[in-house]
Amino acid sequence: MNQKQNSIDMLFRSRMQVQASFPFMIEETNEQIFARIYREISRGKSVSGVVCVVRPYVNTMGKIDLEHDRLRVRLNSIVAQAPAAVRESLAWILLSKLLRRKVPASHAESYRHFMNRKEVQHSHQLVRQTKGRKYVSGPQGAIYDLDPLFDELRLKYFSDELQKPRLGWSRGASRWVLGHFDHAHNAIIMSRILDRECVPRLAVEYVLYHEMLHLKHPVDHRGARRCVHSRAFKADEKRFEGFKEAKELLKRLA
């Protein structure tokens, strides 16, 4: 772990220790935290009120708006119940963006430190599973059928233990996100831009293979850090026959 990460960890722990050492202290409410930090960022200017709405949101941890001199804050229930230091860091992030100020690095790192914790990620996945809706078109596209492609790639590169997730094509034809594996809904979604006659089969197979590797190599949580593409992941990726050719094909597509 590098020196910068060590310092962030120490800052995060020290804030937690202060709260644990003085349990008799009256903890600020979410409304009070946002009102106070608004005054700090705006150099003494106050708002007439703060309304915090807490819900098990799927796609956000926090959003903020300023309406008629009142702050309206929407907080995910996960972060709304987090330690005060975390909620304060999120307030700094949201209010800095709202007021077009630079987000303090210490608060950005403190919030990221919390969000990257394995137990927090697990809680977020559970919320997405129960509350979120995932559009999955099915494996059959206009040109390519992902179902037999998955079977062929599994037979060639993986063991039978690799379970087939839901397979589908995206609604839009994104050039930038060609595929993704959604762990919460156990689904591989491929960009519809690949489902065209002009796109070589090799390119489609490579993107699908890459997403299949996310099944084999889940996100690695090392303390507060998340490693999406580990060394083992990258080594397996290079086993794909036509790896360099496929990468070039996708560059031209993008």
Q: Where are the beta strands (DSSP E) in the chain?
A: 49-55, 62-67, 70-76, 166-169, 179-182, 187-190, 220-222, 225-227
Domain architecture of the chain: domains with CATH: 3-131 (3.30.2010), 146-253 (3.30.2010.10)
Q: Tell me the three state secondary structure of residue 216.
A: helix
Which is more confidently placed, 132 or 96? 96
| 6-20, 43-57, 106-120, 201-215, range with greatest mean pLDDT | 201-215
Question: Is a pLDDT exceeding 80 seen at residue 225?
Answer: no
What CA–CA distance (Å, rounded) separates 20 from 17? Answer: 5
Say what the pLDDT of residue 219 is: 74
Exposure class string for 16-44: b at 16+ Cβ within 10 A, else e: eeeeeeeeeeeeeebeebbbebbeebeee
Say what the pLDDT of residue 23 is: 45
Question: Tokens 């009142």 label which residue?
Answer: 70
**Sign of the Cα pseudo-torsion (31, 92, 76, 16, in order):** negative
Give tens-digit pLDDT for 141-182. 999 999 999 999 999 999 777 899 999 999 888 888 899 888
What CA–CA distance (Å, rounded) separates 158 from 173? Answer: 29
Exposure class string for 189-208: b at 16+ Cβ within 10 A, else e: bbbbbbbeeebeebbbbbbb
Say what the pLDDT of residue 182 is: 84
Question: Is a pLDDT exceeding 60 seen at residue 132?
Answer: no
